Amino acid sequence: ARPARRLPPALPLADLTAAEAETARARLGIPADAVREADARHPLTLHLLAGIRAAEVTAGRPGRDEVFAAHLDLLCLRAAVRIAAACADAGGARVHGPGVRRLAARVAGRVHEAARRALGPGQGQLDRAAFEELFPWRTGWASAVLTEGLLVPAGPGYRFAHEELSDWIQAGHLDVPTALGLLVHGPAVPGLPVPRHRIGPVLEALRRLAPDPLRRELIALVDRLNRFAEEEEQEEEQEEETGQATDRVWWAARLLRETLLRAPDARPHLPVLHALAEHVARAGPGEFGGWFWNRLRLPEPDRLDLLRRLLPADPAEAVPGDRYLDAAARRLARDPQRAQPLLCAWFTDGRRLRGRPGATVATAAQALLHTHRGLAPDDLTEALVTAAHPRADELLAVLAEEEPSALCRAVDRWAHDERPERRVAAAAYGLATAPHVRTPTDRELLRRAARALLARPADATLHGSALAILLRDPHVRGRYLPDALACFRDPEPGSRLPAEALVAALPVLPDPDEVFAALRARADGEVVRALAALTTPGLARRAGDLVREHLARHPGDAPHAAFFVDRRLDQGPAAASVVRPLVLDLLLGAPAVVRAELALVLAAPGGEASHPLRGDLADTLLREEADPQVLDVFLGAVAAGASARPEDRTRELLRRTGRQLLRAPGGPAVFERRTVELARAEPAFGALVARWLVTAEAEAAALLGPSARRTVETLSRAAADVT
């Protein structure tokens, strides 16, 4: 270890570990219950207590303050005995009993006076003249205090043998407001600054203040730090003044930090900590990094609430491990059962994090819980379901896929819970988990949970989900299929079986006719979207026929049919045998509302696997379509996907759409108006159109009028200026 800057060489010695303290007590002959628990690992307390017990003072269970006071009394008494003996040897009267005690009191008085004088220069030492005035050599006082180790020679003067004991004695003679005025609050004074290693007496004096005065002093230090931060932003200060201000900042921050860290219970200081958190949020961590907040003696709810307040102050360039997010992660790793519910409370905090686009306190909590999900997965699921927040639902949905065993256990617990909201969660997350289950144990848990839900007539609204879970189970699928079909055809209010569950069962059923009949009878948008999951050729063909039939009766469900087509296109060439005839039929014979929805899909970039078939079908639409409204929708989708599509392809689609609109009644006006609107709304498309006007001027002039071309060029120049 190395001392901080501007401090003398030192090896900091913190409290001993529990094992080290036990070894030290054994070597010093101190019983385990002979010292107060709060100070049982304090090295100097143990060392001095051993000397006190050696003098046969063994009553009580003292703490640090009592041990220091007893040690001082003992040394003063021993020094008094030596002084009395020296006096007798010199021919004076012998001093006994009460006389020695009175002499010890005089020694103690001079020791305190020595401590007071040592405060004066600020160096913590007593010069030789002051020492000899208080402890004359000729009367044996100097020899007595030096022999007993009350003071020791140090350079040209003397100091107390133990610096911490010296701080403790001197603190009783320190006027806190005066000291803080000199060090922090008041104007800079000429002369050498107070050495930073003399912080001990000030800290000890602060520790002795009553709660209300201490709180006022600490709040004043926070306020001073705020003013220092404001002054630092101003660039008018002289170099000399800046150095003095830096010293005062150090004293304010270090006094505040060490006082709070040494508090045996930091709860009374929560107003101070809240104010400090606000300061950190404005000025940055400084002396108050994540480690500081983790070392405070606080209950976990208060600590994690403070870390939540601090999280947006994490510097973007912070070294991993030093951030407040890392401090929260350490609390989570240390006690996940306690920390998980507290982190779930962060889900309502939408403040943004510095330097991380899109990240908020809420998403950070999600990420923490997800990253450390393996620490206590069962407790995590309980914390999330108790939170009853959309972000908790999102994380549970992820866990259903990544940790299905934990979710299966949770679903089983919730299904047997007497609380209705837990049984609702069992139905929802059992359904989400079922597709990801791989082990017999997990299947058995879901099976038992689903049966428990079905066994409650009052939970009729959950029966559809319960049957859907059982349809995923190969061991009982056949037994529950009739009930599932009945629930799908004629559900009780709110209990309809999800169409997705029936569709998922189709590939493994020996006879799918009954299921297709049920799907056809109850066909709606949900059914149409669910059918997109079928990839087996025979089943996929029947699904396409069902979609075509349904759309003929219900053209208002065109958005769902478009979803079906888009999903099947992304499955690649294997879907061509079903998708091509379906889309061609719709493009040539369906109402405009249906063709417009298909135009949105065919003009979208889509996945790479869909490009050949999507492009062929888009070419067909551009060749056959004559309705300006449909072409308008197609052009909008072309513009929206410009940044994700090769420029040559976007330009070709733009050119062909324009030519097709030129042949439609009112089409030229639509093309000009929409091209300008889309160039303004979609920067990538606007830049592409501007380049097209330059590289293919004649072609562009044939499709766009002068006014539209000038507007696009103006928009392009404005965008370039902004960039």
Q: What residue type is assigned to position 196 of the chain?
A: R
Among 63-72, 73-82, 84-93, 140-149, the least confident range: 84-93
Residue 430 confidence (pLDDT) above 90: yes
Q: What percent of the chain has pLDDT over 90?
A: 68
Distance separating alpha carbons of residues 379 and 335, to the nearest angstrom: 11
For residues 352 and 362, what is the distance between their CA atoms, to the nearest angstrom?
Answer: 9
Q: Which residues lie below 8 Å from residue 633, measured CB to CB, with a gap of 6+?
A: 596, 599, 600
User: Is residue 466 scored above 60 in pLDDT?
Assistant: yes
Q: Is the pLDDT of residue 316 over 50?
A: yes
Strand partners, 126: 158
Predicted local distance difference test score (pLDDT) of residue 723: 43
> Do the beta carbons of residue 541 and residue 574 sit within 8 Å?
no
Mean pLDDT of 519-533: 94
Q: Which two tokens stand for residue 4?
A: 């901080």
Q: Could you say which DSSP state residue 269 is in?
A: G
pLDDT band at 238 (very low <50, low <70, confident <90, very high): very low
Name the percent of the chain lying above pLDDT 70: 92
- Name the pLDDT band for 195 (thresholds 50, 70, 90): confident
Helix (H) or strand (E) holding 159: strand 157-160
Q: For tokens 């053209």, name the residue.
A: 555
**How far is the C-alpha of 700 from the C-alpha of 689, rounded, in Å?**
9
Strand partners, 360: 352
Say what the pLDDT of residue 105 is: 94
Spatial CA neighbour of 555 closest among 503, 592, 605: 592
Both tokens assigned to 63: 């703490």
- C-alpha 495: how far from its chain's center? 38
The mean predicted confidence, pLDDT, of the chain is 90
Q: State the pLDDT at residue 122.
A: 57
- Token look-up 């004629």 returns 490
State the pLDDT at residue 33. Answer: 87
**Higher pLDDT pick, 91 / 80:** 80
Predicted confidence at residue 198, as pLDDT, reads 86
The torsion defined by the Cα of 318, 322, 324 and 328, in degrees rounded to 10, comes to 140
Question: What is the rounded CA–CA span in Å between residue 407 and residue 446?
Answer: 9
First to last CA, the chain: 51
Distance of CA 52 to the CA centre of its chain: 50
Confidence of residue 314 (pLDDT cuts 50, 70, 90): confident
What would the pLDDT profile of 615-664 be if each residue is shown by its tens digit? 999 999 999 999 999 999 999 999 999 999 999 999 999 999 999 999 99
* Helical segments of 135-236, H only: 141-147, 163-171, 176-180, 199-207, 211-233
> 598: closest CA among 580, 610, 608, 586?
586
Q: Is pLDDT of 90 > 60?
A: no
Which pLDDT score, from 0 to 100, does residue 94 have?
Answer: 63
Where exactly are the structural domains of the chain?
18-167, 627-722
Please give the backbone phi and psi of residue 152, each rounded to the nearest 5 degrees, phi first. -135, 150
Q: What letter does residue 352 receive in the DSSP assignment? A: B
**Token pair of 148 as six digits:** 């007993």
